[in-house]
Amino acid sequence: MNRSELLSRIFVITGIILAIGAPLVFWTRTPLIHARMAENGGWNPDIIQAEVGKPLQLKITSDDVVHGFAVGQMDMQSVDILPGKVSEITLNFDKPGIYTFFCTRWCGLNHWRMRGTIEVSGSSSDPEPVSVPLYVTLNLDIDAPHDAPVIPSGQPSAINGQQLVTNLPINQSTDYYRANSPYQVFDELSSAVLTESERWDLVASIWKSNTTPESLANGQQLYAQNCAACHGENGAGDGVFADDLAASGEASMQTMTGAENMMMQSPVDFTNPTRMLGASPALLQGKILRGGMGTGMPMWGSIFTEEQIWDLIAYLYSFQFEYQN
């Protein structure tokens, strides 16, 4: 082998290595995140570092079933994570802090446990004060029983109530609606000269006036995506996971007995007027924000925005009240 042949060989081999290696190095610089069902480990890695003002590139693949990716409280389209495919996502963060990312496609009973965090470092130009949730301000015990002692005989109609509301001095403000349960409002209306069903219709109209069709539609969508698998598509607490939850909750609920035990294990029935009409929007907000403390109810505080939670709550009451004719 003469000198020039050796040189040309070295030249060709270096060229090939560069052509294959350079994209490979570039590709591996952003690590691949693996998504698995929560039972098998969830996200790996589940803590991601990022910086303010620097776009964060993510590559995610699934090792088992269809998953989804979204960051909580962020206005973004969720991205499907399919097995055998790599989804690429670019995120931009304006503010430092700890963000929660979560799975958006139901991937089993423990789907909601599939969460991770993005730690965004950097300095913020305008630090926002943290607002205290309403249930804390009102000093509500969100674990106390809240049954309504009286329930309506039929479904209260907001349309009928609206006709009554015009000639009565009734507080319809948002603060009043959020702080009181339908039963409390019903009770306060007892001074007026009205029949019981008229009073319930009035309550329904107050609830309706504090929401909009857009909010209800948004709430319905959030409900279908995040709640219906356990609480049921029609709100009756009979979702596809209800039985599995009861079975898996048995172990963790051993300190409780009888009816209370069962109540803690199975998803709440939103069509049950005793429970729903005794719950104020602030109470429901607390339950959704914090989650069920040992039950299967996830904590949504780091995922939903405040507005999304109010929309969802407005939709939950539509299992009790008739808003349209």
Q: Which is nearer to another protein, 33 or 81 (CB)?
A: 81
Pairing verdict, β 97-102 and 32-35: unpaired
The torsion angles phi and psi of 47, rounded to 5 degrees, stand at: -125, 125
Which residue stretch of 8-16, 76-84, 134-142, 304-312 sits at the interface with another protein (rule: CB under 8 A)? 76-84
Residue 95: name the closest of 118, 137, 127, 72 by CA. 127
Place of tokens 């949730």: 133
Helices 242-252, 258-265: inter-axial angle, 10-degree rounding: 120
**Quick count: other Cβ atoms within 10 Å of Cβ 300?**
22
Q: Using the rule CB under 8 A, is 241 a contact of another protein?
A: yes
How many residues line the site for another protein (CB under 8 A)? Answer: 25
Residue of the chain from 48, 50, 71, 108 that contacts another protein (CB under 8 A): 108
Residue 41 C-beta: closest distance to another protein, Å: 15
Residues 30-69 that bind another protein (CB under 8 A): 37, 62, 64-66
Residue 182 and residue 148 in contact, taking contact as beta carbons nearer than 8 Å: yes
Element (H, E) at 298: none
Q: Using the rule CB under 8 A, is 186 a contact of another protein?
A: no
Q: Using the rule CB under 8 A, is 246 a contact of another protein?
A: no
Q: Euclidean distance between the first and final Cα of the chain, in Å?
A: 93
Residue 38 C-beta: closest distance to another protein, Å: 11
Q: Using the rule CB under 8 A, is 230 a contact of another protein?
A: yes
Q: Using the rule CB under 8 A, is 240 a contact of another protein?
A: yes
Residue of the chain from 222, 227, 279, 289 that contacts another protein (CB under 8 A): 227
Q: Using the rule CB under 8 A, is 204 a contact of another protein?
A: no
Helices 306-317, 281-290: inter-axial angle, 10-degree rounding: 120
Element (H, E) at 34: strand 32-35
Residue 291 C-beta: closest distance to another protein, Å: 17
Binding site residues, another protein, CB under 8 A: 37, 62, 64-66, 82-84, 105-109, 111, 224-225, 227-230, 232-233, 239-241
